[in-house]
A and B are shown apart, each in its own frame.
With several copies, the nearest count.
Chain A
């Protein structure tokens, strides 16, 4: 047991953080800066981070769930408006099902309309993607990516998918579980990054903003809001790291259970932390120009991909043998 980043993992974390800090949006107005976004995309493309789950020799991925989570967390912390979740999950789906390697076209994944499972309705994290890998009738299919949809997450657009589907491979239960475990672990890392970013933003604001002749960060009520947010982010980080490790280290169903535990925790925590960020920013926090809501919106997408509290509590309980009593859940899968 050694729950610390290796020197290589630390180096990876630093290099992602550098890219996100250098090329991510520093203000809401910069979200529209296409030139910056192109540079960010180029930097990420060059890094090879999107190919971490393509198969190396023997079919294992180039890097474990931990490395992928490191990238996801740091990109989210910096609100990096660049494709990563989608391409990574598409690569994993090909790898797990033995589907042939993608041609040069950028890929993402297609999910159901509520994003709670693989499907063929919405392509997520679709910036630059031409193809979305989804599922129909138990088979992995390739769909064309259509027009962008009105965004929920201002940093990662969703898109329509075309009606025609090319069948690539069958998806068995183990592959589906393993894939879902990675998807959940990745979204947890995304939520952790968003929480850390939102707390940093809010702490900085609380140190600067003055009312009643003093920095608002000197009021105990504000301090305690931020302290709780920091604690939630730290607890989330611990449970999300475990889920990221479990993706490759545990049997598929156990990996999925670990991921569900993490997702329930992180989703609830992220909602609270996001709301704290808005609250600490006061009136400003309720305006479009404040980055607080950009973190909140990014967390909304990450929460909805494979579901938040409700579906994942159901998964956890089912894993412990407490049956689905809601009529809506689907057990562990």
Chain B
């Protein structure tokens, strides 16, 4: 039981800390501004080029083959420097790594990891949100290609994306989970229309809707075999639930740090309720940091988690929403137009965490049934 650094870890920490001094791009901690996403892409490439991205992924795909705990160290240093979090792409990388053949991995993973290729994820549909297995997008074989027709929503960065990981139904004869396949679909083609989705905090660049109307994808771009879409989706979704994968601890710590600075700068301006909200933002963020260290350490011993990801997701959600409440309480709504309205946007953004990657209700169902063994 050691939360401290090994000599190698300490060396890495020092090296990254030194690099950060000159390379902190000064972005906000989450998408409160549409410029953020362009900055994120540059930040991804900057981290990659300096050797600080994909730490725990295989070297063949551009990663560094380090234990996952290095991600936690990176996150701690990012937060300490007030730098933005690392782009969280692990869910896509793991989905492809675990389910694709070597050809797909070799063709797609290096560009995904090095940030030169932008990817989006075409899973959810207007009538298939929590109930993903009811998706209706279809892919029909036409020679060496499939033709895709359907409507996806919540496709992150779809406007900038070069590629989309699309789930589509290839077999209508089998039960609903079984007839789904996954494809890497090029976004730059006539059969695809992309529309921005405006979020409640006004951001339009994070999510989009994508309409596939006869888009074409080579059969060789199928990830796995026909019908393998569901297990791939489960891999992706389970990684989407893991704060260690997403690097969100750095997000929350950066926010808590900025809120602390605001209160310290003018302590008499804040009442007991606001100070209390700050206290809980700090406490929960620290809790999550240690929880992630514990989970990432389990991987050192080869332990991978199944339903425990739902525990992590709820802790992450509660932490983000506690930080969001502190942001609203302390930063408040800007009624004067003087400052910016970042804190209000942080609050509004925090509400999505209890929906995306599976609602909090779904996570609780999974915990009750699969961890606690309660009857259906």
Contact = CB atoms under 8 A, between A and B. Distances in A.
Q: Do chains A and B touch in the complex (CB under 8 A)?
A: yes
Interface of A: 1-6, 9, 66, 113-115, 121-122, 124, 149-150, 152, 158, 160, 199, 203, 206-207, 210-215, 217-224, 226-228, 230-231, 234-236, 238-239, 241-242, 244-246, 249, 258, 261-262, 264-265, 275, 278-279, 282-283, 285-290, 292-293, 296, 300-301, 304, 309-311, 313-314, 316-317, 320-323, 325-329
9 contacts: A2-B297, A150-B341, A203-B374, A210-B127, A218-B375, A242-B286, A278-B200, A286-B199, A321-B260
**Considering residues B284, B300, B363, B367, which has the most beta carbons from chain A within 10 angstroms of its beta carbon?**
B367
Interface in B56-84: 69, 72-73
Interface string B306-336: 0000010011001000000000110011111
B329 A288 contact: no
A113 B368 contact: no
Q: 6 smallest A-B Cβ distances: which pairs?
A: A310-B273, A223-B368, A238-B291, A288-B198, A149-B337, A293-B200
A5 B267 CA distance: 42
Contacts of B288: 235
A327 B275 CA distance: 12
B374 A238 contact: no
B112 to A, nearest CB: 24
B273 A245 contact: no
A238 B200 contact: no
Interface in B339-376: 341, 344, 348, 351-352, 354-356, 359-361, 363-365, 367-369, 371-376
A9 B293 CA distance: 18
B297 A4 contact: yes
A215 B375 contact: yes
B260 to A, nearest CB: 5
B1 A313 contact: no
B250 interface: no
Contacts of A236: 287
B174 to A, nearest CB: 17
B364 A224 contact: yes
B355 A282 contact: yes
B364 A1 contact: no
Given A152-B333, A310-B329, 17 more contacts: A3-B290, A3-B297, A113-B336, A113-B338, A124-B335, A158-B335, A203-B374, A217-B368, A220-B365, A222-B374, A224-B365, A239-B286, A261-B287, A289-B198, A317-B275, A326-B272, A328-B271
A213 B286 CA distance: 40
B270 A282 contact: no
Nearest to B200: A293
Contacts of B24: none
Contact of B290 (A206, A239, A309): A239
B45 interface: no
Contacts of B374: 203, 206-207, 215, 217-218, 222-223, 226
A122 B369 CA distance: 45
Contact of B282 (A212, A218, A261, A323): A261
Contacts of B354: 279
Contacts of B372: 199, 203, 223, 226-227, 230
A310 B336 contact: no
A235 B315 contact: yes
B210 to A, nearest CB: 14
B166 interface: no
Contacts of B278: 317, 322
